[in-house]
Amino acid sequence: MAAKISPSKGAPYARILGVGGYRPTRVVPNEVILEHIESSDEWIRSRSGIASRHWAGPEETVTEMSLAAGGKAIADAGIAASDIDAVIIATVSHFKQTPAVATEIAHRIGAGKPAAFDISAGCAGFTYGLTLAKGMITDGTATHVLVVGVERLSDLTDKEDRGTAFLFGDGAGAVIVGPSQEPAIGPTVWGSEGDKSHTITQTLPWDVYRDADPGQVRFPALAQEGQAVFRWAVFEMAKVAQEALDAAGITADQLDVFIPHQANMRIIDSMIKALKLPDHVAVARDIETTGNTSAASIPLAMERLLASGEAKSGDTALVIGFGAGLVYAATVVTLP
C-alpha cells in the first residue's frame, strides 16, 4: 500500500499585517527630464499625470531600499525580523542574475534562514508576490512573509527617448503577510498575454551588450509601444479589476480604496469610470510625485494613502498590477 502524504496545515486565511515604503532622497522634476528631450512640462503632465519622480543615488541600491522599506513594514506589523520565514522580492532592475537579492535582504534584515527568492513579473510583480505569500500562509509553509516590490528604473531609462524618459522612478514598497482568522486577501485574478510581450521590453538582452564593443552599443533600456499599452490597459484591465471584485464577492460601492498600478493618470481615470467607482472611494494617485516605479508602485501608494489618512486600517481595497509581459494580477485586500 502506498504511503500517504500528510496534508498541509496552514492558517485558515492570510492578511497584510504591515506596510512600509522608501523613496530616494533625490526628487527629479520634469524640468530635469526636459534637458534631454524636446517636450514640455505641460505635455508630460497631460500625457501621464507626472510632475516629478525620485531617482536613487549610488548608495540607494535595490538592496538598501528594500531593507529600508522592509524594516518599516516589520515595525508596522509589530513583529520581529526573526519571525519572518519567507522573503519574496519583486523586481526587474536587480542586475545580478544570481544569487537572488532576496537572500541578501533576508540575511541583512535579520530574518534568520527563511525561504528567499526573486520574481520577475514587471509592474504586476508585487501583486504576484502577495498571492504567493498568501498561498504560503494558508499552506502552512510560512507564518510571516516579507513581500517587497523594488526598482531602480533610472538605471534602465533612456533619458533621450521622448516616449519613456519621463515615466520611470525608483523606490521600494513592502508588506508583511501573516495569518488571519477571517478572509483579508481575496482570490487573485491573474494571467498573461504573451502575444503582446513586444509592447514593453528591454531594448537589448544582456548577452548582446557583453559580446559587443560597449562603445558601439548603448546600455539596455526600457522601451514600450505607448499607445498599444495604453489601449490594452484602458480596455482590458478594468475587466480584470471587475473580475477580482466579483471573485471577492465585493461590489464597487462597498469598496473604500482603489490602488491601481501607477502607470498613467489617464489609465487610472479611465478605470474609475469603467468600474463606476463612487466618489467615496479613495484612489491612489501616487504617480504624480513618484512616477512609474513598476513592482514598487502599489505598496508605495498603499503606504502613502495610509500615512495621509486618505485610507485607514480595516478599509477594503482593490489592487491591480499590470505591465511588461503583458501580465496582470488583481485582488481585494483588507488594509493593515
Active site amino acids: 123, 261, 292
Contact 246, 319 (CB under 8 A): no
Distance from C-alpha of 245 to C-alpha of 323, rounded to nearest angstrom? 20
Residue found by looking up cell 515615466 in the block: 167
Measured at the CA of 288, the angle between CA 308 and CA 315, to 5 degrees, comes to: 35
Which three cell numbers mark 277? Answer: 467607482
Buried b (16+ CB within 10 A) or exposed e, 206-230: eeeeeeeeeeeeeebbbbbebeebb
Nearest residue to 294 (alpha-carbon basis) of 87, 161, 96, 151: 151
- Name the DSSP class of 199: G
Contact 296, 126 (CB under 8 A): yes
Strands 257-260 and 282-283 come out as parallel
Which three cell numbers mark 239? Answer: 475587466
Cα separations in angstroms, 102 against 29, 59, 119, 153, 294: 31, 18, 10, 18, 18
Beta strands in 120-206 (DSSP E): 145-152, 170-180, 189-192, 200-202
Query: What is the dihedral sign for C-alpha 41, 44, 49, 50?
Result: negative
Distance from C-alpha of 325 to C-alpha of 190, rounded to nearest angstrom? 12
